[in-house]
Amino acid sequence: MTKIRSMITCLLRLIALAATLCATIVMAAAHDSTEIFNLKFEAKYSNSPSFKYFVIVNTVVSCYTLTTLLIPHKSLLWRLILILDTVMALLLTSSFSAAMAIAYVGKKGNSNAGWLPICGQVPKFCDQATNALISGFVAILIYFFLLLYSLHAALTPVFCAKD
């Protein structure tokens, strides 16, 4: 039972690693440019603090996930993993939501604030950012499943003991 549990956890962590790595690389490489009135306008992730935050968080979570895959199963560090998993899930959710809010304004604009959509001018950048956001969302889902799985595993003996 313990072996199956650690295999499922390991598989989920591998998918999470792939998703966060993919989100980081695709967002960091997203790039497009256009000319408006002879002025060159370049779109890249570093133009927006929210997209920078998204790249930084996905890089940190990638490193963390890789580390958890390398920790021996009998290490005492596993006592901290559930808490650190929760922190990583919160960071992933935070960076995804901030990037999503800005991507939405980039796509639809906000007429009340006078912010025009930019995706018509830099469609390649918008498509790549969308793909990065999809990867980021997959990473959140996987981390959520990991949390649910770990919570279930951690709580079952406590509840059983109370019954």
* Residues at the contact surface with a copy of itself, assessed by CB under 8 A: 41-43, 47-50, 79, 82-83, 86, 89-90, 93-102, 104-106, 110, 112-116, 118, 144, 147-148, 151, 154-155, 157-159, 161
Residue with tokens 């919160």: 90
Give 33's strand partners: 42
Within 10 angstroms of residue 113's Cβ, the number of other Cβ atoms is 8
| Cβ 158 to a copy of itself shortest distance, Å | 6
CB neighbour list of residue 22: distance below 8 Å, 6 or more residues apart: 132, 135
**Both structure tokens of 146:** 């990991």
Q: How far is CA 34 from CA 79, 119, 120, 136, in A?
A: 51, 11, 10, 27
Specify the length of the chain in residues.
163
Nearest CB to a copy of itself, comparing residues 64 and 96 = 96
| Cβ 123 to a copy of itself shortest distance, Å | 15
Distance CA 97, CA 128 (A): 17
| Cβ 130 to a copy of itself shortest distance, Å | 16
| Cβ 48 to a copy of itself shortest distance, Å | 6
Residue with tokens 């497009």: 32
Nearest CB to a copy of itself, comparing residues 70 and 79 = 79
* Cβ–Cβ under 8 Å, residues 65 and 13: yes
| Cβ 88 to a copy of itself shortest distance, Å | 12
